[in-house]
Amino acid sequence: MAFMPLFGAGFWIYKKQERIVAWLGRRKPVGMKDYMTTKSPNYIFENKSVKIVVIDDNPGDFPLDYLRNTFGQVTVFDKISLSEASKLIGYDLIFLDMMGVVKEDPKYGGLQLIKKIKGLPDAPIVVAVSGARFDPTASNYFEMADDVLKKPLTEIKCEEVVLELVKEKISPFKAADTIDSEILGKCKNDREKNKINALLFSFIEGKIAIDALRGELLNSYRHLDTSLVISKVQRIKNAYAT
């Protein structure tokens, strides 16, 4: 009967598929993106995972109650010092009024502040905002910003901008790509690359603490950007935290 060979071939392919899947489950991942593909559950973006800062001398120009109800954390500064820029580490997006918010230089300090923000580990997205008194398109202040908006900001506009800019930034797959590129570009050989990846996998699986990971990277792999790797692997772990 003609269908018997076809049935036999189909069964053989099915059994081979089982073995391939089993092999994929046992093999060691070759990088962070590969690890996530084989080991981690599907990632779902949650609004409540987003952390926002508003830096503005007139916070009433923002729909703060709406932002707080929509996103996970909203912190407000009406003034900030350049020396306090490290307080912004860990946030995803900053709405920044470039005028009147920097204590050391209310008029021109905005450019220095945005430079400091962009130099932070896993730097937040910066949305520069201004009132009608100041045209953002005519100022060098805004050249380093990721987007520019006029005040006052509506609820819909705020949400659109946040989601458009933040979704990709906080994706753990984007973070994995960054880690893989850093390791691939700076590792001496495959052996070293595998050791670093094993450390990162152990952290994600809760086998080592963040301080131990940081210490090992600083002691043995100083040629890597430790701050970058730490910030990105934390983002990956946090994305799947229950």
pLDDT digits (tens, 9 = 90+) for 107-138: 878 888 999 999 998 899 999 887 755 555 44
Task: Please give the DSSP secondary-structure letter assigned to residue 195.
Answer: H
- pLDDT over 80 (residue 22): no
Tokens of 194: 């595998």
Question: Tokens 């701050």 identify what position?
Answer: 227
Contact 224, 182 (CB under 8 A): yes
- pLDDT over 80 (residue 174): yes
Asked which of 14-23, 74-83, 149-158, 226-235 is least confident by mean pLDDT, the reply is 14-23
The residues, ordered by sequence, that sit 6+ positions from 139 with a Cβ below 8 Å of its Cβ are 98
Question: Tokens 């923000």 identify what position?
Answer: 117
What average pLDDT does the segment 167-196 reach?
92
pLDDT class for 151, splitting at 50, 70, 90?
confident
Q: Write down the domain spans for the chain.
A: 47-169, 172-239
Going by their DSSP bridges, the two strands 125-130 and 93-97 should be labelled as parallel
What average pLDDT does the segment 88-93 reach?
93
pLDDT class for 3, splitting at 50, 70, 90?
very low
Write down the architecture of domain 47-169 according to CATH: 3-Layer(aba) Sandwich (3.40)
Mean pLDDT of the chain: 85
